Copies of this chain bind each other. A is one copy, B any other.
Amino acid sequence: MPEGNTVRVSLRDVAAHAGVSVKTVSNVVNDYQHVTPAMRARVQRSIDALGYRPNLAARHLRKGRTGIIALALPELGNPYFAELAAAVIDSAAAHDYTVLLDHTGGRREQELLVCRGFRARVIDGLILSPIELEAEDLGDRAENVPLVLLGEREYDLPYDHIAIDNVAAARAAVRHLIGLGRREVAFIGARRGRSEPAQLRVRGWREELTAAGLPSDAGLVAATDGWGHADGEAAMIRLLDSGRRPDAVFAYNDPMAIGAMRALHARGVRVPEDIAVAGFDDVVEGRFAAVSLTSVSPDKEAIGRLAVESVLARLGGRTPAPRRVRAGHRLAERESTLGRVGAFGAPGRDT
C-alpha cells in the first residue's frame, strides 16, 4: 500500500469527475490529436479542479522508459568534471531528460558496478567516463541499456566514444611551449602502475618534442598516483629536486598544473620566466590563478551535448553503428606561458 500522502488523483478520478472514459483523459494529457476542443476543455477543467498529476512510475512501467540517463564521473571535485556534468545536465534537459549522477572515484570496482547496470532498470542510458576500466571489463557487458564512453581512454569496443583529440591537443600545447623557446619540457601526471590513462597526452608530448629534436626521456616525466592539486605539487617538487632543470612543464590536467605552480611559487621559481606551465582542461580556477594558467580547452559543451545525443540515438532498440566522435579543443594561452601581457586582465579574459 503506497502510504498515501496527500490526495492521490488518478486518471480514473479525473475521468469520473469529467464524466468521460479514462482513455479520453489520457488522450488529453498526452496531447493526442483527435480530441474535440470542447471535450479537451472539459477534461482540462477536471484536471485542474482535481489537481491531477500523471504518475510517472506507471507511465514508465507501461512505456518501458524512465526519462532518466545516468552520468558516471570519476570525481566531482575536479572542476572539469563538474563543468562537464553541468553541460550534460543542460543538454539532457533540452531533450526532456533528467540526469542521475554517480561518481566512481575513478575506482575500477565502482566503474564496473555502474556499467554492469547496478542501477537496474531505472535508467534509459548511461554515460560513463572511465579511468581504471579495462577493455575486458566492458567486453562481457550483458546490459542492454545504451552505453556511451567519455574521456581519454580509448577502447576497441563497439561503444560510442566522445573525446577530443588528446594527442593533437597535447602536441599543440607542447608546440606552444617550444615556440616560446623552451627546450626542456617536463610532463607531470604520467601514471604509475599497469594501466596508463594519461597515455595519449604523454604520447602527444613525446611526439612533439621528438619532432623538434628535443629530449623526452624518463627523467622529464614525473609520475603520480592521483590527479589532484597535491599530486601536481609533489611531482613538481620531486622534479625540482631531481637535478634536472626543465624550463617548461606540461601537466596532465589543470589541478596538477596549479599544484605545480604553487610549488614553484614556494621555491621562488618564477612562472613563466624560469619555468613556463601549461595544463589541460581549462577550468575556471586556472583563469584566476595569481598567474593565470595556459591550458588546453576542450569544448565541454559539445562533449556534453554529443554524449546525450549519442545515448538518446540508441534508445528504443535503435542501434546505430558505434562511432568515435571528436569534440573540438583549442589552446587558451595565458600568463603561465606568455607572462603578463599588456594591461592587467587581458590574458585572463581570454575565454
Chain A residues close to B by CB (< 8 Å): 2-7, 51, 53-58, 60-64, 66-68, 75-77, 79, 81-83, 85-86, 89-90, 96, 98-103, 117, 119-122, 142-144, 228-230, 233, 255, 258-259, 261-262, 265-267, 284-285, 287-292, 316-317, 340, 344-345, 348
Contact = CB atoms under 8 A, between A and B. Distances in A.
A53 B120 contact: yes
A102 B100 CA distance: 9
B288 A53 contact: no
7 contacts: A2-B142, A56-B121, A57-B121, A67-B119, A265-B290, A266-B340, A267-B344
Nearest to A86: B76
Nearest to A261: B290
Contacts of A267: 344
Given A7-B143, A56-B66, A76-B85, 7 more contacts: A56-B121, A68-B122, A77-B284, A90-B103, A98-B122, A262-B289, A285-B285
Given A101-B99, A142-B2, A344-B267, A288 B86 contact: no
A76 to B, nearest CB: 4
Contacts of A229: 284, 287-288
Contact of A54 (B64, B68, B121): B121
A68 B122 CA distance: 9
Contact of A121 (B55, B258, B288): B55
A217 to B, nearest CB: 28
A142 B7 contact: yes
Contacts of A233: 288, 345
A53 B344 CA distance: 59
Contacts of A57: 57, 60-61, 66, 121-122
Contact of A262 (B51, B79, B288): B288
Contacts of A63: 2
A286 to B, nearest CB: 10
Given A76-B83, A288-B259, A66 B7 contact: no
**CB-CB nearest 3 A-B residue pairs:** A2-B64, A82-B82, A57-B60
A122 B2 contact: no
Contacts of A289: 262, 289-290
Given A7-B144, A76-B86, A259-B288, A121 B2 contact: no
B56 A317 contact: no
